[in-house]
Amino acid sequence: MVYSFYIPLTFTSTLYLSHHFESLINSYIISKIGIQDHFIPPELASSLRYNLQNLFSRNKFHLGGTGNDIIDDSKVFRGDSIHWLDRKHEDTFENMFFDLIDAFVLYLNEYCYAGIKSYEFHYTLYPVGSFYKKHLDQFRNNDSRQFSMIIYLNADWHKNDGGELKVYKDSKSHLISPTSGKLVFFKSSELEHEVLITNKERISITGWLKS
Ligand code: OGA
Ligand code: NI
């Protein structure tokens, strides 16, 4: 059947989004790691990259912690700095990002009965030479984090830049390169992972869907 009307394939189109999410969920179901190379469109990725770099240059980032707000010796465990996104910032691109996440959460709750009630996301910057040692994305005394999502914003990433996400699964490990627009999605309590030492400044948005 040929439709005579035009369905815009923009990222706000519900039709396009559900197709997008379906292939992501399929890759998650098959391999426990959902990966989508172009989860956010290039224009939105470059606006968020601009936001991140602007906030970092204005000293709005702080060191990431390891437990429930315990920073202690975390620098030997993780070397990244973070800044939380918030709709209250009334930033156009942050809000577009949250609109996309909202659509994804709706999809997960409707088609996968995921029971997601809230989420949290931060901008992340790993300086040259930093890493994040092998860990699970759950706090010792709080298991509300259901799914981890990492969206990379690195415009120009080459193999020798390092900084791969290494995910451990079934006694094997998988290396994922942090290229711009890519989303990685997995169950927070299930897969141990680490960030290998980066030879170039490495940027992303990291977040958790919570029950
Ligand atoms: C994290 C994390 C992975 C990445 O922030 O918990 O594991 O690739 N990030 O940035
Ligand atoms: Ni993690």
Q: How far is Cα 10 from Cα 4, in angstroms, rounded to an integer?
A: 18
- For residue 5, the model assigns a pLDDT of 47
For residue 139, give the amino acid letter.
Answer: F
State whether the beta carbon of 20 lies less than 6 angstroms from ligand 1.
Answer: no
> Which ligand 1 atom sits nearest the alpha carbon of residue 148?
6
Find, among 94, 100, 86, the residue nearest to 21 by Cα.
100
pTM of the model: 0.90
**pLDDT tens digits along 5-32:** 444 445 556 666 777 899 999 999 999 9
Min mean pLDDT across 11-25, 39-53, 59-73 is at 59-73
